[in-house]
A and B are shown apart, each in its own frame.
Chain A
């Protein structure tokens, strides 16, 4: 890895605690619809969690609760020792340290690729533009598209856009990365380049929570796989045990449908 090219002052601070994310008895409702039912999840530092399950099972909602894009209504969400409440300061604190990659990239279309990357470091971290550009180019090299720095997102392929989105999140030096179906909106040919980037990130020791149906990725990278259905965590296990010896009928059915 080319980590040494980033000045040490721009490097992320390590996690304060060994527990990266802790969800305790989390419930959430959309009106009468009970999206999350008693979610308990404990993610330790450096752990890679893959979350899968049928659509509507609450996977996305769960990881969106971790950076407060969704509010939970019961239970506790603690991110690196900071509990998420209505306290805006704490929410901002958590968001600064948690990167997120979306299914539909959500790049800022009116800014160039490099501007997309440097926006948050400049405005949130108050970094001088020169340093931000430096760090932006560093991460663009890392996702292997430095030559696209001055194009607009609309001029890039889906896979390139998603890699820019990953680089954008990394530019804030996050301690934890959340991925919400990062490859679902991509052409099959572009899935690999994005997954490769994520594998590399995992090898560097990033704490990751990934909602995905890429079972190959899960097998290769995950420490644990979480299977959700109807707002509950149905099963949680190491990849090998999860794939070879699923415990629940629902898990077996799901696996039989996605692994042909």
Chain B
């Protein structure tokens, strides 16, 4: 049995702001619930995919997990350690365990640093490496991500999108992390480059025994890349299952709609798609969301009883298949 590497307990991230209205004595409190009561666990050596539309809080969850932003409530466990509120030296040590690869390879690299400096900076800070040793390590990392060594003194603008993303991966790998949070690593790339980056990530995982949290909105990538899937909507987790299970038996109506909207190329792929479901409207605003089911406003199969169910929890319907639909849990 794989042991659990990372676990979140009722993780919340609210962005609170106050708005003063004319002649009001008290400010109006606006809470954007970007991540709301998320429970998930990541096993050692697996690839966990987080899917959802834009605005569903995927990136915020990823950033909370890697402690780039501080969660509002809840707990994050890394191994046996509670990392929710660690600061200073402890946090610096945690950075060696969890690293992140960002979405836009163009803007996540400093345009004034050359590739060598970009990859070397984390090692200078954490390992106190300098001089020849550092350069050797940079070269080793570059060959690991299949970047030509000639690029070592180039600047990011001279690189293609795929090469920039490889630099981002090399930088993340430089501290030998255990967990890598990949925030839409291929959404800015062309399909032919995307396939190469995904293969690289997979081979690196096999070689180094990494664990990935992959944030994406592309279900075809999820199907080919990940072991388990978490479906998010409006800051909440609606469904969680292993990839094969989710694609063969999607339970939540939102997952079904998401699957049916995936554009496919070949005729054989159509049998993986449930019947045509078209969602009306768009993802509602995450400001002061109700405590009922998050998907209620766009759900096609809702019943009147759905409106009375508050504080829904993820329920294990089958072994390993969790869902939050009030229907199914009845």
A joins B in a complex: no
Which A residues contact B (CB, under 8 angstroms)? none
